[in-house]
Structure 1
Amino acid sequence: MTTKEETLALWRQQEEDVRAKLAPPGVATMADLKAGSGMDFLQKIWDGLLPSVPIGQTMDFIPVEGEPGRIVFQGTPDKRHYNPLGSVHGGYFCTLLDSAVGCAVHSVLPQGMGYTTLELKVNLVRALTEKTGPVRAEGRVIQVGKQVGIAEGRIIDTEGRLYAHATTTCLVFPLP
Structure 2
Amino acid sequence: MPEQFLPDNPDQLPTRETTLSMSGLEFMQKILGGELPLAPIANGLNYQLHSVKPDEVIFRGAPGFDQMNPTGTIHGGWYGTLLDSAMACAVMTRVAKGSVYTTLEYKVNIIRPIPSGMTVDCVGTVEHAGRSTGVATGKIIGVDDGKLYATGSTTCIIMTPK
TM-score of Structure 1 vs Structure 2, range by shorter chain: over 0.9
What is the match of residue 173 of structure 1?
159
Q: Give the secondary-structure state (helix, strand or coil) at the position aligned to 1:104.
A: helix
Higher helix share: 1
Is the 1:101–1:167 contact (alpha carbons within 8 Å) kept by the matching residues of 2? yes
Stretches of structure 2 lacking an aligned partner (at least 5 in a row): none
TM-score (norm 1): 0.85
Which runs of at least 4 in structure 1 moved beyond 3 Å after TM superposition?
A: none
- The question of 1:34 aligning with 2:20 is answered yes
Stretches of structure 1 lacking an aligned partner (at least 5 in a row): 1-16
1:79 deviates by 1.0
Which deviations, in whole Å up to 9, do the C-alpha atoms of 1:143-174 show, x marking residues without a partner? 01111110000000022101100000011110
What is the match of residue 146 of structure 1?
131
Alignment of 1:114-133 (within 5 A): 114-131=100-117, 133=118
CA RMSD of aligned residues (A): 1.2
Is the 2:32–2:51 contact (alpha carbons within 8 Å) kept by the matching residues of 1? no
Among 32, 35, 51, the residue aligned to 1:49: 35
What is the match of residue 65 of structure 1?
51
Q: Give the secondary-structure state (helix, strand or coil) at the position aligned to 1:137.
A: strand
What is the match of residue 5 of structure 2?
23
What is the match of residue 77 of structure 2?
91
Give the residue type in structure 1 aligned to 2:62.
Answer: T
What is the match of residue 8 of structure 1?
none
1:86 deviates by 1.1
TM-score (norm 2): 0.93
User: What percentage of residue pairs aligned between the two structures are identical?
Assistant: 37
